[in-house]
Amino acid sequence: MLLDAEQSQLVLVDYQTRLMPAIFEGPLVLANALRLAQAARVLEIPVWGTEQNPSKLGENPVELRSLCRRTLSKMQFSGVEEGLGEWLRPPAAPVTGNARSLPKHLQKSVAAGPERNAVVIAGCEAHVCLLQTALDLLEDEFEVWVVTDACSSRTERNRDAAFDRLAGAGAELLTTEMVVFEWLRSAEHPAFKAVQALIK
């Protein structure tokens, strides 16, 4: 199964200024997160961010934050525990029209907008905030796609243990380039050259 750009959202977890210097391969991981966010912006894919205890760990870098629709400040390790799920799955719009035409239990609510059930997620630390957020998203019946080269932890072992657990739980593991080229699907895509330039 390939990623579908029209069904995707991107979540960037805790690339915070005071955390990143301690992260294994931190500069590469952050560079890939920026590539993902820039490609998503070009392709009109919603981008969301999270920050763990920003008063202690700082905010996400300005260039990353500016590409996010919203950034969730959180104290729980899982962003879902603090409301991220509501951002990713907007509430249904109230029923309009003649309320007497059908009994209430037979009325169907109308979705607020097109549902994007594929959550592409990347971030730090892979074995804590990213893992717990991704597992909660799986539990909430989202498709979860973890971008391995845009994720890390303070140690390589912790990062790899997170990937093993996520794969076992049903998340798809992929790389930045896999995401971008699956979103595009073709060299004939109108945004191909703009997005390809981000990878080169």
Enter the pTM of the model.
0.88
Residues 87, 89, 95, 101, Cα dihedral to 10° = -160
User: What is the Cα–Cα distance from 166 to 172, expressed in whole angstroms?
Assistant: 8
Identify the helix (H) or strand (E) that includes residue 41.
helix 26-42
**Which whole number is the average pLDDT over 157-167?**
98
Residue ranges per domain, the chain? 5-89+113-199
User: What is the Cα–Cα distance from 137 to 143, expressed in whole angstroms?
Assistant: 8
Interstrand relation of 70-74 and 118-123 (parallel, antiparallel or unpaired)? unpaired
Residue 1: pLDDT over 80: yes
Identify the helix (H) or strand (E) that includes residue 49.
strand 47-52
- What pLDDT is stored for residue 56 in this prediction? 96
- Band (pLDDT 50/70/90 cuts) for residue 13 is very high
- What pLDDT is stored for residue 90 in this prediction? 73
> Which of 58-62, 99-103, 184-188 has the weakest average pLDDT?
99-103
- Band (pLDDT 50/70/90 cuts) for residue 31 is very high
CATH superfamily of 5-89+113-199: Isochorismatase-like (3.40.50.850)
- The secondary structure of residue 66, as a DSSP letter, is T
- What pLDDT is stored for residue 111 in this prediction? 47
User: What is the Cα–Cα distance from 32 to 175, expressed in whole angstroms?
Assistant: 9
> Which of 87-96, 142-151, 189-198 has the weakest average pLDDT?
87-96
